Structure 1
Amino acid sequence: MICCFKELPKAQWPQKLHDPSRTNVWINPRFLVQEFQEEGGVIRLSINTRELGLAGRWRDGISWEALQEIKNAVGYGDRDAVEIYPAERDVVNVANIRHLWILPEPLPFAWRRDS
């Protein structure tokens, strides 16, 4: 189970990335979550572990279950999200960061639990 997240004040946000679209940052003992406002009402959550692994990169291995719990814990439990696997020519993989795009409307093709 994912522990509660603490919202960080702006003065404590990571300084390596200055992006005006960043609107919120949360931490807990295991994860750092950054929120970015994208076009069309889409919100991007960038999620990484707070542990360093080999070569000074953040430790990899965030499970689907952890991503789902993190999405819920930072306030988006009622929204659909997607993780994108781009065309090979568009791959950018410079750090062990996972991105969830929180959509403004429910996905028309998602499986839904029977009511």
Structure 2
Amino acid sequence: MNKDKHRQKAALKEFKKPVTAFEQIDLTQATYVPDGMTRAYRNTRYTVMVYDDSPTSHGPAIRVMVQKHDNTSILKHWSEMQQIKNEIFGGEVTAVEYYPAVSQLIDRFNIYWFWIFPEGVLPIPILSI
């Protein structure tokens, strides 16, 4: 069985289970850890990889990658990402998704990214509605 089919089969098995809380993955036991990844989390739907102190044009930030186990698009994207952010980083943390210029777009996989900057770095445009 090829790697993609094995991944799909394993994901479908996980998706039959109720959604679980995120658990931190022990990176010392992982077979592969991408360069710069400092921690990772997993539940029965998603894997979340965290890159603390990622460089940006305004200093370091926490860069977060989210991917469904079956590598498909996240339905109800906004509410799912908000829930993931809240569970792992806390409800009072502000995170930002980045939509690049077309010339900088890399969109080969169903992977979602958000960034968490230190307080005071981001201008918050909506002060009241």
Q: Structure 2 length normalisation: TM-score?
A: 0.71
Contact residue 42 and residue 101 of structure 1 kept, 8 A:
yes
1:44 aligns to what?
Answer: 63
Please give the alpha-carbon distance, in whole angstroms, between the structure 1 residues aligned to 2:74 and 2:112.
Answer: 10
Aligned to 2:126: 111
Q: Kindly indicate whether residue 115 of structure 2 is the aligned counterpart of residue 88 of structure 1.
A: no
The match for 2:82 is 68
1:6 CA displacement = 0.5
For structure 1, the 5+ residue unaligned runs are 52-57
Which ranges of 4 or more aligned residues in structure 1 deviate by more than 3 Å?
A: 11-14
Give the gaps of 5 or more residues in structure 2.
1-18
Give the letter for the 2:98 counterpart: I
Structure scoring higher RCO (CA < 8 A, sep ≥ 6) equals 1
Task: Report the 3-state secondary structure (helix = DSSP H, G, I; strand = E; otherwise coil) of the residue aligned with 1:99.
Answer: strand
Higher alpha-carbon Rg = 2
| CA root-mean-square deviation | 2.0
1:14 Cα deviation after fit: 6.1
How many Å separate the matches in 1 of 2:31 and 2:107?
19
CA contact (8 A) 2:95 2:114 kept: yes
What's the % identity of the aligned pairs?
A: 29
Aligned residues: 105
